[in-house]
């Protein structure tokens, strides 16, 4: 199974945005703020069952960095003691 064209386009778009924000000295918080509107499309990428996602994470390091930020954020929320 291959990744959908739409999901690949999302990976590339996120990769470019992340790289541009970081090149301008942006922070992780800025990344979360600036990419908030893209979350519905990012969710589709995350839910895509294609094993090719790993290949694209290695190829598009800006996308990978953003996925790690989301993973760390989710882990921190999961560990909150309410």
State which H helix or E strand residue 29 sits in: helix 28-34
Does the pLDDT at position 5 exceed 80? yes
Res 72: pLDDT: 94
Mean pLDDT for 35-46 is 95
Q: Which long-range contacts (CB under 8 A, 24 or more apart) does 54-60 make?
A: 56/3, 56/8, 56/11, 60/11, 60/12, 60/14, 60/15
How crowded is residue 25: how many other Cβ atoms within 10 Å of its Cβ? 7
Total-model pTM: 0.89
Residue bearing the bigger pLDDT, 21 or 52: 21
Whole-number average pLDDT of the chain: 93
Report the C-alpha gap between 28 and 15 in whole angstroms: 14
């Amino acid at each position: 199974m291959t990744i959908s064209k739409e999901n690949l386009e999302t990976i590339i778009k996120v990769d470019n945005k992340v790289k541009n924000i970081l090149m301008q000295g942006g922070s992780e918080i800025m990344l979360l703020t600036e990419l908030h509107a893209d979350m519905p499309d990012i969710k589709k990428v995350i839910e895509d069952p294609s094993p090719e996602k790993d290949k694209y994470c290695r190829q598009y390091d800006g996308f990978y960095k953003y996925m790690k930020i989301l993973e760390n954020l989710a882990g921190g929320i999961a560990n909150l003691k309410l």
